[in-house]
Amino acid sequence: MKIIQEQYDVLTRRHERAIEDAKFATTARQKEISNNEVKSYDAILNEVEILENPNSNTITLGSKFSVIMSDYGFKQEGKYVISESAIGAGGYEAVLPNSPMGQAVIGKQEGDKFSYDVVGKIYVGSIGKVYTAKQKTI
């Protein structure tokens, strides 16, 4: 699984919390659940590849970017990251590359417009900023 550093940090904290929960579980069922959770995080963390923020103005796997959604007469801005994990982190909402939004924004640059369909609802927006490795990502 390819994720950014902030997502890795979230997974690590959840893993540590699961280990603590397992230590203090009082019933056999609680211990079993906690130990299974620890094993799940162990498996995930062993398969992780940490993505560097690309040094490109074109959105690709690992890119952090902002969008301005302009569907239905109002504008809404959001910050996103393209990664293979649905865990948002560092102020960025995760977008899977094979999701409708991911497919619509990959390959786009600042100012490009995009649209995608989710169960008959059309979303329209434009790329606000693509944060490259050399830029501070707020």
Parse the chain into domains and list their residue ranges: 2-51, 64-131
Strands 49-51 and 2-4: parallel
Looking at per-residue pLDDT, the higher value among 21 and 71 belongs to 21
**Residue 113 phi, psi dihedral angles, 5° rounding:** -95, 155
The answer to whether domain 64-131 has CATH 3.40.50 is: no
What is the average pLDDT across 55-68? Answer: 90
Please state, in angstroms and rounded to a whole number, the distance separating the CA atoms of residues 51 and 107.
Answer: 17
pLDDT in tens, 75-119: 788 999 999 988 887 889 999 999 999 999 999 999 999 999 999
User: Dihedrals φ, ψ of 42, to 5°?
Assistant: -55, -45
Q: What is the per-residue pLDDT for 138?
A: 39
| DSSP one-letter string for 34-88 | HHHHHHHHHHHHHH-EEEPPPSSSS--TT-EEEEEE-GGG--EEEEEEE-SS---
